Amino acid sequence: MKFVRSSALRALLLAVFCFGIVAVAQPRYLPLDVENGSRLYRTNCFACHGPDGNSIPGVDFHAGKFKRVSSDEDMLRTIASGVPGTAMPPTPMNDSSRLALVAYIRSMHESATGSGNAGRGRALFEGKGGCLACHRVNGKGSRVGPDLSEVGGIRTAAYIERSIVAPAESILPEHRFVRVVTLGGKVVTGRRLNEDTHTIQLIDTDEQLRSFSKSELETFTLLTTTTMPGYQDKFSTAELADVVTYLLTLKGLD
């Protein structure tokens, strides 16, 4: 199995990423929009359109098949106004939410399948990759890193690949780690779960839920780096495709 040099792979991924954007002619989609859109989809669209977007006859989001819309503007309008005479109701939501929903629906078409083998991908994920040391999937693995049980429903293939190859570039602010030092000098590190003006909550590296009053801390630092290693030199191109394909199958408990 030939290993692809990281710079070449990055160039390839960049090309894939850019092509994906150009292909749908919507430069304003962001992976983060897709994630927000997936949550909105579950709340607003899931009941009728189904988990795979193909429950309404004649409409299949994965296949990019629509009855009445073609452009994003059509879709935005249809979400806002509904389709008179059908079960599709007007959905009151703000403009950025509608845009996120469109981004997600478009991404369902873009990221429907991976090119690898999901079974091999799972074996690599749990074995050679050692991913469960930090991540959790359907109740198995560590809770310290982000849970990936529904990553296939909220991320595109390109984004998942980029997260594996260059995690430092794609770590989301919501997954940042925090390092606190108590007034007694004790150091605790963990993933930040919540924060307000006076307190901070985290899950520490022993998977314990911890809450601190900031007035009782010597320092607290939000870390902008990630402890996750890049896998560009650990997985071959084929292995990477297998892992991505496996992760794309993870759609949560729904």
Which positions lie near other proteins, rule CB under 8 A? 27-28, 30, 32-33, 35-36, 73, 76-77, 80-81, 92, 94-96, 98-100, 172-174, 176, 192-198, 222
Nearer of residues 8 and 80 to other proteins, judged by Cβ: 80
- What is the Cα–Cα distance from 201 to 209, expressed in whole angstroms? 7
| Number of other CB atoms surrounding residue 90 within 10 Å | 12
Nearer of residues 100 and 164 to other proteins, judged by Cβ: 100
Tell me how far, at minimum, the Cβ of 169 lies from other proteins, in Å.
15
Tell me how far, at minimum, the Cβ of 33 lies from other proteins, in Å.
6
Report the candidate in 193, 199, 203 with the shortest Cα–Cα distance to residue 215: 199
Report the candidate in 23, 45, 158, 148 with the shortest Cα–Cα distance to residue 91: 45
Tell me how far, at minimum, the Cβ of 100 lies from other proteins, in Å.
8
136: its two tokens: 């959790």
Nearer of residues 38 and 149 to other proteins, judged by Cβ: 38
DSSP state for residue 147 in the 8-state scheme: B
156: three-class secondary structure by DSSP: coil
Looking up tokens 């806002």, which residue turns up?
80
C-alpha to C-alpha distances, 111 to 58, 119, 149, nearest whole angstrom: 20, 18, 17
Nearer of residues 107 and 232 to other proteins, judged by Cβ: 107
- What is the Cα–Cα distance from 114 to 245, expressed in whole angstroms? 4
Tell me how far, at minimum, the Cβ of 28 lies from other proteins, in Å.
5
Tell me how far, at minimum, the Cβ of 192 lies from other proteins, in Å.
7
Amino acid at 187: V
Nearer of residues 86 and 224 to other proteins, judged by Cβ: 224
